[in-house]
Structure 1
Amino acid sequence: MMSTPALRETTNPYIVQLVRSVGREADVRLFSWRDAIMGRYDVLHVHWPEIFTSASSAPKRWARRVLVSAVQCRLALTRTALVRTAHNERPHEQAASVDGNILRRWDRLTTLWIVLNERTTTASEAPTAFIPHGHYREHFASYERREPSADLVSVVGHIRPYKGVEDLVSAVVSDARPDAFRVHVAGKPANSALRKELLEVAGDSPRIDLELDFIDDARMVEVISSSSLVVLPYRNLHNSGVALLALSLDRPVLVPDNAVTRDLQAEVGTDWVHLLKDDVDLPSAIRTALSLGIPAGQPDLRAREWSVTAHEHAEAYLRAQKIRRKRS
């Protein structure tokens, strides 16, 4: 059972590809509270457990907390294995104390972790399986691409505080150098305060284009393909589907310099992954990356084929099931 309840237009494309590809290797069910508590399944695969207690009102949040506790009791009392994908080493937003306790119980119940890079530190001592994040080439292959503009940079995806988008906008608005470039920000802010801040920081700058709303797959391809560089000005970057999405659409990326992004650069090529050093300001790094243009050919994403990824997930589920049964 996957922790996603349905495949919708707004579902993370990584999850869509995972469900469909793993479905060719195993019997995959989508999540429902009833089936998660009462149904028959061997493995529960959870991605972002904090989403389970997310709700629009306090009563709904408390109802979800009760349901989560019921699922956790089922896992503790049965031979059902819990597999967790460690997308991040810790949640990006601070949880309420009661939700923090729920998250820690998820950690204690985890049978097996799936890590997307070999540098991930998990929240418990459960065994790990390294399965690289799959690419997006086939998923977005049917969408029409645009010709890139040499001076256009894009920032795409759900806008959250840790991504530093407002820092990028502020840096570009304050940049007075003559060789100007433009920035297109496309994505829905996490809250109204962040939306307001972006609008205030951008002001009436002709160099900033804010598209602050959900963008579907077709629009995502349009925005990325029309730019010559995709920038991820994150304050903390560990794994990034957006970076792989840009690379899958044959556009170079500018990412913070850390051990994980250096590994990605070594994997796909220095022409495709530009590193933002601590001693270089963001506009200067963007100018340097833009001056190099879009490389010829495609980045090397052979290690991220979904046929391999699906098989490795199926093997991880079997491994987790054996571990859980031995502990029972």
Structure 2
Amino acid sequence: MKVAIRPRTSPHNRYVELFAAAFEKAGWEVGSLDWRVAPVLAGRLMILHWPDEFYASPDARSRLLSWARIALMAASRRLFGVRWIWVVHNLVPHDQHTAVPGLWRAFTTELDGLVFLSSRSRATLVSERPDLSALPHLVTRHGDYRAGALTPPSPWQRPKGTTRLQFIGQVRPYKNLETLVEAARLLDAAIELGVAGFATTDFAAELRRKSAGVPALHLDLRSASLDEIELERIVDGTDAVILPYRQILNSGAALLALSRNRPVIAPALGGLVELRDAVGAQWVYLYEGELTRSVLEDAAAWVRAAERPPVCHLEPFDWAVVGPEIIRFAESLMANQAS
């Protein structure tokens, strides 16, 4: 069996490599989907993680290229029986406000299957696009990050002094870090907040300006993504990971934190509610509404007081469970192709 995945690897998210490894472990031949005509027409199964180019194209040339790729999808399906799957990490690209509706609808029309990483994901998509409700789909979980970790995760330990809360990931506007800065402005010395990750030059300058005079906040903004070992070290060095998203459907950063035995603080949005229900309220603190100083103080108190074991149990998110579910779904689509 052959599968081509886009992206096959990513410097920003190890999830895609773990996803591809599940197919390799099952004996599939795994390649990268690069939109070359001959490999697509000769393929069997194509999987897209973030097909953002079909939602919004910045210029006429990009739109023309996207339409050409949709035509290739259509030809591969109708003439050669190639199957196409979208892994629904989010419904629309983050930080995208201008859509090309006809392009996006044409893309979704050429799909053969959907993989959702939470029940909330499917419910949200179907509420907006009821025409996709009959499409074959799988509701699974976002796999954890323990497989392939470069360093052993350190066990959870209760803070003995200052409570350290850390944001990790790409520093982007949709992650609502400006609100985190404001909430941290009047915190006392018992709570420290860190923000570490890649940020564009303009957004980094904006955050530095807004965080001036906020002693509780420590910025570590980079011009390149953190490497895996450094990211693991930063997570292991904190008491909890805070993710002050304004909107979110699924969060790889939350799974990374839990994979390193660090509790998570986040808004009650998207699949995070299911994540809390699966791992326990001692590991995931969800707040309603805006992130404020009082929310931060309450969350920090929860970090110190909640009873939790040294290791977060993530059996439902283990790739030994998640991987075979995805493979079975892919095989079912291929069986339908053969019939």
Q: Tell me the TM-score normalized by structure 1.
A: 0.85
Pick the aligned partner of 1:82 from 84, 89, 107.
84
Partner of 1:34: 36
| Structure with greater strand percent | 2
TM-aligned CA distance change 1:117 to 1:62, over 3 Å: closer
| Secondary structure, counterpart of 1:284 in structure 2 | helix
Displacement of 1:280 in angstroms is 7.2
- RMSD of Structure 2 on Structure 1 (CA): 2.9
Pick the aligned partner of 2:220 from 211, 218, 224.
211
CA contact 1:228–1:252 (8 Å) conserved in 2: yes
Partner of 1:303: 316
Q: Residue 166 of structure 2 aligns to which amino acid in structure 1?
A: S
| Secondary structure, counterpart of 2:300 in structure 1 | helix
Residue 176 of structure 2 is aligned to residue 167 of structure 1: no
Q: Residue 106 of structure 1 aligns to which amino acid in structure 2?
A: F
CA distance in 1, matches of 2:215, 2:188: 14
| Structure 1: gaps of 5 or more residues | none
Displacement of 1:63 in angstroms is 6.6
Partner of 2:70: 69
Displacement of 1:260 in angstroms is 3.2
- Residues paired across the two proteins, number: 320
Partner of 2:325: 312
CA distance in 2, matches of 1:233, 1:265: 16
Displacement of 1:38 in angstroms is 4.5
Pick the aligned partner of 2:286 from 268, 275, 289.
275
Superposed CA deviations along residues 88-122 of structure 1, whole A, max 9, x for unmatched, are 23333336454x43322221111111111112233
Listed as ranges, the matches of 1:31-180 within 5 Å are: 31-34=33-36, 38-51=40-53, 61=62, 64-65=65-66, 67-78=68-79, 79-94=81-96, 96-98=98-100, 100-121=101-122, 122=125, 123=129, 124-125=132-133, 126-140=135-149, 142=151, 150-173=162-185, 175=186, 177-180=187-190
**Identity between Structure 1 and Structure 2 (%):** 23
Superposed CA deviations along residues 12-53 of structure 1, whole A, max 9, x for unmatched, are 211011111221112221122215764421111111100578
CA distance in 1, matches of 2:291, 2:197: 26
TM-aligned CA distance change 1:234 to 1:289, over 3 Å: same
TM-aligned CA distance change 1:203 to 1:5, over 3 Å: same
CA contact 1:87–1:239 (8 Å) conserved in 2: yes
Superposed CA deviations along residues 181-227 of structure 1, whole A, max 9, x for unmatched, are 111111113x4442222111111433222121211111111111111
Displacement of 1:85 in angstroms is 1.0
Greater Cα shift, 246-255 or 124-133: 124-133
Pick the aligned partner of 2:261 from 223, 232, 250.
250
CA distance in 2, matches of 1:295, 1:146: 11
CA distance in 2, matches of 1:58, 1:259: 31
Superposed CA deviations along residues 297-322 of structure 1, whole A, max 9, x for unmatched, are 32221111212222211211122234
Displacement of 1:58 in angstroms is 5.0
Pick the aligned partner of 1:240 from 228, 239, 251.
251
CA contact 1:75–1:109 (8 Å) conserved in 2: no
CA distance in 2, matches of 1:65, 1:180: 51
CA distance in 1, matches of 2:206, 2:169: 17
Q: Tell me the TM-score normalized by structure 2.
A: 0.83
CA distance in 2, matches of 1:217, 1:205: 29
Partner of 2:192: 182
Q: Residue 292 of structure 1 aligns to which amino acid in structure 2?
A: A
CA distance in 2, matches of 1:279, 1:70: 43
Displacement of 1:273 in angstroms is 0.8
